[in-house]
Amino acid sequence: MDITNRFSENPILTPKMVKPSTPSVGIECLLNPGVFRFQGKVWLLVRVAERPEQQEGTTTLPIYNQAGQLELMTFRNDDPKFDDSDKRVFEYDGAHYLSTLSHLRLLSSHDGIHFSEDPEYGPIFPLGEQETFGIEDCRVSQIGDTYYLTYTKVSPTGVGVGLITTTDWKHFDRKGMIFPAHNKDCALFEERIGGKYFALHRPSSPSIGGNYIWIAQSPDLEHWGHHQCIATTRAGYWDSARVGAGAAPIKTEAGWLEIYHGANENHRYCLGALLLDLQDPGRVLARSEEPIMEPVAGYEQTGFFGNVVFTNGHLVEGDTVTIYYGASDEVICGAQLSIKEVLKSLGR
């Protein structure tokens, strides 16, 4: 069951439409943008994944040092210590490296379809030892005049959630890691509930437990507690292997509506919905039995990592939710959903 209306212009952004950060790398993929309104325009905070030019017989991988400078590491493909069986994460002598390195890039649009970079608003690059393998998949929530950026910090010591705040998108206050490794997919509610801030997040367990959606409370958006698991994977369903939050939950009369992603054992990513109680968002009222969006278009089925639709950014206007999403881990696309139709699919 796919109830989305895709943009006829899809994909609206491809790697060729964006310039690499330096001449020593090329853009491999554009992924999973955070979305917000600012100065009367629609903005995307796109994850840009770059990779150095490759030479025959070797593999060159990028990292950022603690000073935020790009460094390149080269391995021989025939070295028995080198394992490139997973094209996303390589291994050498027990250590893991990413095949691409990501930073965040700002693009804006007057019509929500045609996006371009403004030289006044520069990229956000990794910084510090917790981001030496890059920064990824940023959600943007607005509370008052402040924008809160929750994003994935990646380093050899693990994957956690970082927080950055800004009011003008030129000056940034890096708050550090707010959810320690291993954690990602953090989406902030855009208002307090009962005097508390709330966030969805996804801790992961390699043995007991799994990749589940949790909720947490905070007095100040930096210190989090009262953690509670609210959605697990479901055997035999479209979200049997992993689930994770999308963008900020949408407030409706029926409850907080959260569009989330789920994947099965074949790494096929779809979108579904959770409905959470307005006063007690840790209580799940309804959940998608079937996906509300599936990778059925050609650009969603074939790419850097095919059969993927993944969103962590949307805009809401009346009954319409405009989602911006990553397709096949390579291009950026847009689609629209009716809140009433999503609630109807949940039996509400």
> Taking every pair of C-alpha atoms in the chain, what is the biggest distance, in angstroms?
60
* 3 state DSSP class of 15: helix
Question: Which one is predicted more confidently, 90 or 36?
Answer: 36
Cβ atoms < 10 Å from Cβ of 345:
20
Which pLDDT band, with edges at 50, 70 and 90, does 87 fall under? confident
Instruction: Using alpha carbons, select from 31, 24, 28 the residue that is nearest to residue 331.
Output: 31
**In this structure, are residues 308 and 326 in contact, taking their beta carbons and an 8 Å threshold?**
yes
User: One-letter amino acid identity for 98?
Assistant: L
**In this structure, are residues 309 and 293 in contact, taking their beta carbons and an 8 Å threshold?**
yes
**In this structure, are residues 149 and 194 in contact, taking their beta carbons and an 8 Å threshold?**
no
- Would the pLDDT of 88 be above 90? no
Q: What is the pLDDT of residue 96?
A: 86
What is the Cα–Cα distance from 221 to 197, expressed in whole angstroms? 6
Which pLDDT band, with edges at 50, 70 and 90, does 65 fall under? confident
Instruction: Write the pLDDT tens digit of every residue in 195-212.
Output: 999 999 999 987 788 999
Instruction: Write the pLDDT tens digit of every residue in 307-328.
Output: 999 999 999 999 999 999 999 9
What is the Cα–Cα distance from 108 to 308, expressed in whole angstroms? 24
Instruction: Write the pLDDT tens digit of every residue in 143-198.
Output: 999 999 999 999 989 999 999 999 999 999 999 999 999 999 999 999 999 999 99
Query: Has this prediction a pTM greater than 0.85?
Result: yes
What is the Cα–Cα distance from 239 to 247, expressed in whole angstroms? 18
